Amino acid sequence: MKFATKAIHAGQEPDPTTGAIMTPIYQTSTYVQSAPGKHKGYEYSRTHNPTRKALEQNLAALEDGKHGLCFSSGMAAEDCIIKLLSPGDEVISTNDLYGGSYRLFTKIFANYGIKFHFIPMANASDVAKLVNKNTKLIWVETPTNPMLNIIDIKAVAEVAKKNNVLLGVDNTFASPYLQNPLNLGADIVVHSVTKYLGGHSDVVMGAIVCNDDKLAERLAFIQNSCGGIPSPHDCFLVLRGTKTLHIRMDRHCENGIKVAEYLKTHPKVNKIYWPGFPTHPNHDVAKKQMRGFGGMMSFTLKEDKLEAAHKVLSKFKIFSLAESLGGVESLCGHPASMTHASIPKEEREKTGVVDSLIRLSVGIEDADDLIADLKQALE
């Protein structure tokens, strides 16, 4: 079954009671048992819910995975993964990653004796140098947030497998339509479902997909024990969102190319970070492991000042200044003061997150209108 068909049908059978083609919102906390321990597969909605199960199966299919787990947010999904570890374990992570992930790692789990290393991952050999007997997880974002760095998943997976280390990949920026890390050797894929999978800026959710049965069992135990699960209504909204994922992503990519090409020629733009350019670091890797370059990009201004960025951001009329990304509407953000404010300034700037950096989530509006909006904001 090809992607578009899976997006619409995977995990979603007509309701057996009524024949409803859409998965019902099972807004229930508990389920009646005919005798103690005798039930229809559902006991309590923290553990299982039919609407959530349909979404988990759908997302697993989109990632070519076997097991899907949904959470109340992307951070709850990451929290579940790190809880696989024990004090004394070590994690190797990319140094350019979402600020919320950095905060979770350094401000929460570092307090429990887990050690985190943050390094550039453009070359898998740099990852291999850091692996030791305590390394239990390699954490990859690709493309990264917000510098759009590309990491070779297959090459890092070879390092992980050689050393019996788990490889987790945050696939939020690409979505399953553009990239499938499990097929490249990853053990775990995580998503902020809030973004492209939901696609309409109306739900907050996270997800994990994996293939290994024992690993899935461990993750499901943590999910149930800690309870960070989404509501049935939110699951229903995302099931509606994934049905159009392939169509939306095609338009995000189409608009992304046009916007990136425009910014490339603008006299007030200094650098633009978008993996579709042949000059972008690891562009060849992106061509190999992705089916398109997406609608996420960042750029700096030639006037490298905080005030210059704020002036541009305040002048947009179609691009909305807001946290998040991946919705049908175009969004703009200032990583240094928004999504990555939790990372110390000196650490941010080492990775390129300078005061004039602006991040764009290019939506599915008319590209000419988006370019006109950029033109008036920049000029």
For 168-190, the pLDDT digits (tens) are: 999 999 999 999 999 999 999 99
Burial group, residue 164, by CB count within 10 angstroms (0-12, 13-18, 19+): exposed
Q: Running DSSP on this structure, what letter comes out for residue 239?
A: H
Query: Is it the case that residue 208 has pLDDT exceeding 90?
Result: yes
Helix axis angle for 306-315 and 367-378, nearest 10°, is 140
CATH level 3 topology of 3-242? Aspartate Aminotransferase; domain 2 (3.40.640)
**What does the pLDDT average to over 190-199?**
98
Instruction: Give CA angle at 155 (152, 156), nearest 5°.
Output: 85
User: What pLDDT, on a 0 to 100 scale, did the predictor assign at position 102?
Assistant: 95
Question: Is residue 40 packed enough to be buried (19+ CB in 10 Å), middle (13-18) or exposed (0-12)?
Answer: exposed
- What is the arithmetic mean of pLDDT over 313-331? 97
The structural domains of the chain, with segments of one domain joined by +, span 3-242, 245-378
Asked if residue 352 lies in contact with residue 96, where contact means CB atoms within 8 angstroms, the answer is yes
Q: Which residues contact 230 (CB under 8 A, 6 or more apart)?
A: 52, 70, 71, 72, 203, 205
Name the average pLDDT for the chain.
97
In the prediction, which pLDDT does 37 show?
86
Count how many residues are written for the chain.
379
Q: Residues of the chain with pLDDT > 70: what percent?
A: 100
H or E segment to which residue 115 belongs: strand 115-119
Predicted pLDDT of residue 340: 87
pLDDT tier, 345 (very low <50, low <70, confident <90, very high otherwise): confident
Statement: residue 122 has pLDDT above 90: yes
**Whether pLDDT at 106 is above 90:** yes
Question: pTM of this prediction?
Answer: 0.96
Q: Tell me the β-bridge partners of 119.
A: 94
DSSP state of 185: T
- Looking at the annotation, which residues are catalytic? 46, 98, 170, 195
Share of the chain above pLDDT 90, in %: 95
- Please tell me the least confidently modeled range out of 13-17, 90-94, 284-288: 13-17
- CATH superfamily, domain at 245-378: Aspartate Aminotransferase, domain 1 (3.90.1150.10)
Strands of the sheet containing 296-301, edge to edge, are 269-273, 296-301, 358-361, 331-333, 320-321
pLDDT given at position 342: 81
Residue 331 pLDDT class (50, 70, 90 cuts): very high
